[in-house]
Structure 1
Amino acid sequence: MGLFGFGKKEKNSCCCACGCGGSAAPEQTEASILILGSGCQNCRTLEANTRAALERMGDTQSTIGHVTDFTQIAQYGIMTTPGLVVDGKVVSYGKVLKPEEIEALLKKMRG
């Protein structure tokens, strides 16, 4: 890279394709769905709504995990919780989705 950051552009090494340029990937987990947040009432409600959406869909294969470490949460590129991550992709943050909304997101993402 040239003086003052101008010149040949380096290839983006972002771990999540958000364009931030970061290289530290969030810690991987076995869960296919993650709730990001401290464990507050909103996080618990989002998790309950996610479970309800999975039940409505008859999905018994998906697993739900919870990330409470704010360093790991920040690595997903969000600063407002609760967050919802499906198959490694942040699909929502900063609000509690209803089961119907989660179901629609899951159907859209997973076909």
Structure 2
Amino acid sequence: MFGFGKKKEATPTPQQDAPAYVKVLGGGCDKCNQLEAAAVAALSELGMDTGIEHVRDFAVIATYGVMTTPALVLGDKVVSTGKVLKKEEVMAILQENS
């Protein structure tokens, strides 16, 4: 009568189309800046409204277990280290991890 004891149906949570954030890890060298530019271009081309951050503090970079920069992080997952990815490579990684 009053609905007591009825189980409420769980409302589905919307799935995320993109990682919560993208980070480029590196001290600010040319290679790190190239990876950041490729990531920005890939996000733009895919129409993803994901923020990007360039982490230059080596103490913070070390917390990710990264020994070779530049590195690309999606959410909390390191997906690439030690090389400059092309825009197409970043796009493929974003699509695999979304």
Relative to the length of structure 2, the TM-score reads 0.78
Q: Percent identity?
A: 52
Per-residue deviation, residues 58-106 of structure 1 (Å, max 9, x unmatched): 11x2000011111110110111000100011100010000000000000
Structure 2 alignment gaps of length 5 or more: 1-19
Which of structure 1's runs of 4+ aligned residues deviate more than 4 A? none
What does 1:22-101 correspond to in 2, within 5 Å? 32-59=21-48, 61-101=49-89
Give the structure with higher Rg (CA): 2
Count of aligned residue pairs for this structure pair: 79
Partner SS for 1:104: helix
Unaligned 5+ runs, structure 1: 1-30
> Whose strand fraction is larger, Structure 1's or Structure 2's?
2
Aligned residue identity for 2:23: L
Q: CA deviation at 1:56?
A: 1.2
RMSD of the alignment, in Å? 1.0
